Each structure stands twice: as structure tokens, then as C-alpha cells.
A = this chain, B = another copy of it.
Amino acid sequence: MGSEGNASRVDVADLVEQARAGRPRAVARLISLVEDESPALRDVSAALAPHTGRAHVVGLTGSPGVGKSTTTAALVGALRRRDHRVGVLAVDPTSPFSGGALLGDRIRMSDHATDDGVFIRSMASRGHLGGLSWATPQALRVLDAAGCDVILLETVGVGQSEVEVSGLADTTLVLLAPGMGDGIQAAKAGILEIGDVFVVNKADRDGAQSTRRELRSVLGMAEREADAWSPPIVMTSASRGEGLGDLVEQIDAHREHLAGERLAERRRARFRREIRAIALETVRRRVGDLSGHAALDALAQEVLDGATDPFRAADRVLDEL
């Protein structure tokens, strides 16, 4: 692949410096490097490490049709009015295509396309790396190092990714809309547990108040510890620009709630998962690379001869790795 050839010649330290100075092209290039899993991926991650941890990552989840993209675009506007530097990362776990470029079809984002306080990137999250777990955290680190105060992480399409988003976010927004036909009761059980802030979007529509009441009733049944965060419900109409101020306030309130040890523990849990996922994937590749390897052939012959068994043979493979 051409990009890999280029990547190996890339001056990662220089790119990171440029990204930290807010140069959009450097940010885009770094995200492409981590998305392509170029040989530079490890160098990029190492170079970013000292410059991360500042950005607040806000994940947006919800069924298709609730208005995630519209809400993301409206949130960008609301955050910009507060002079926040904003990153947007749209991940499509179902697309086999790399979305390395700006999402041309996200018309609503075009308001922000020329704003140098906003970075917008979309990326594909190819299935073979465990969904969001590999490239996405690195892309978040790029936007973090580039000085974003807030990063909005949105998944496009449907799937299991809702819960994964919350695993990568400091604050998870769960979006609902009236008249979606599924109701709160029918919402996937998991989604009520991951929400830090609930958003009833399309609040101008019939049924918005009953959706809110139903949601409040279900949330009210959850048992919480005394000092635990109690997830608020915000009514918005993202397409009309209504309720975004409230939403930003609730995001800020949750951020303040977390600040300190709660945020640290949430992030440590995230890094534990990430380190485990990388370790496992690394071994998976090394073991996969063994196909046709002489040592493996020799071990298979020993099993054939009855001189060893596959478990002891596997131990020897692992000893060699």
C-alpha cells in the first residue's frame, strides 16, 4: 500500500508538533496513520502520550433516526460559542471503506468546515480489529493533542457499538426521540446503564413529554449510591437549535462531577481494556504469522509422531514468541 510506504518515511515528531500547533493537515495525516495501521502507528502513539489527557470525550449514542448527526452539529455550534476548541470523530463500524476525508455528505457540518477551531474526521472501523477498540482511541489522542477541549465521538450506523462508545467516552449522551416506535421499555437494557446524560431530541414533536416521563420513571427505578451521578434528561430540538445550551451545561456538570479521582478511575479502566486489547491483538498476529513457520511444522510433526501433544506444543510456540 502506498500509504504504508509513505508512513514509514514520515517524521512523526514533526507531525505531532504541527498538530499541537493546530495545523489541520497534520491532524488529518496523523489520524490517517493510525487508521491505516501504518508502521508509524506505534511511533505516533508514543509521541502523543505526553500531550494527551486534556480533552473531554463526549460519546453520542442512540438508535438510527434519533438525530445523532444533527445533534452533533448543533453541539459543535454551542461549544464554539463558548470558545471551546472542538473535535468530531464519526466512526462507521459497518463501513469497509476508510473515511479518511471530511464527510462530504454531512451537509450540516459544512457550517464548521472553514472554522479552524473545529476538527471533523470520519473513519471506518474495520471489523478485524475488534470494532472501535484499536484505531479509535488513537484518533481520539490525536485530537486531544491537537488542543481540542471537547471531542464528540459519534458512531454512524447500527450495531453493538453503542456500549463501546461509552467505553471510550468520559461522558456518554444517550439520545432518544419520540415516536421512534421502540419506546423506553423496549430500549436495549444496556443503553440505560451507560447514559450519563439523556437527550430527548425532536422535543417539538408529539410524544416528547411522554417519552421524558417514561424515561424518568425507568431511570428512577435504578439503584444508585448516595454520591453517584443522577443522569439528567435534556429536551432538545437539534434541528431548530433548541436546548443545546442546557445540554452543554449538563455535559459540564457531569465533567465537574467526574473531575479528580472519578475521571482518573474511568480513564484507567479504559486504558486497562485498551492495553489488554492491544496485547491480545499483538499475540494474535504473531501466532497468525507462524503459518508455514519451520518451528510450527516441526511441532506438528512431533504431534503426528505422538512425541508430544498439542498443548505442550502450544507452550513451546508461546515460549518462542
Contacts and interface: CB of A to CB of B under 8 A. Distances in A.
Interface of A: 41-42, 45-46, 48-53, 137, 264, 267-269, 271-272, 274-276, 278-280, 282-284, 287-288, 290-291, 296-297, 299-301, 303-304, 306-315, 317-318, 321
Contact of A278 (B49, B51, B288, B314): B314
B51 A306 contact: yes
A50 B306 contact: yes
Contact of A304 (B268, B297, B312): B268
A279 B309 contact: no
Contact of A314 (B51, B282, B310): B282
A276 B290 contact: yes
Given A268-B297, A300-B268, A304-B271, A276 B309 contact: no
Given A296-B272, A306-B51, A46 B312 contact: yes
A51 B50 CA distance: 58
Contacts of A310: 45, 137, 271, 274-275, 278
Contact of A296 (B46, B137, B275, B303): B275
B276 A308 contact: no
A275 B317 CA distance: 8
A315 B279 CA distance: 7
A306 B276 contact: no
A312 B49 CA distance: 11
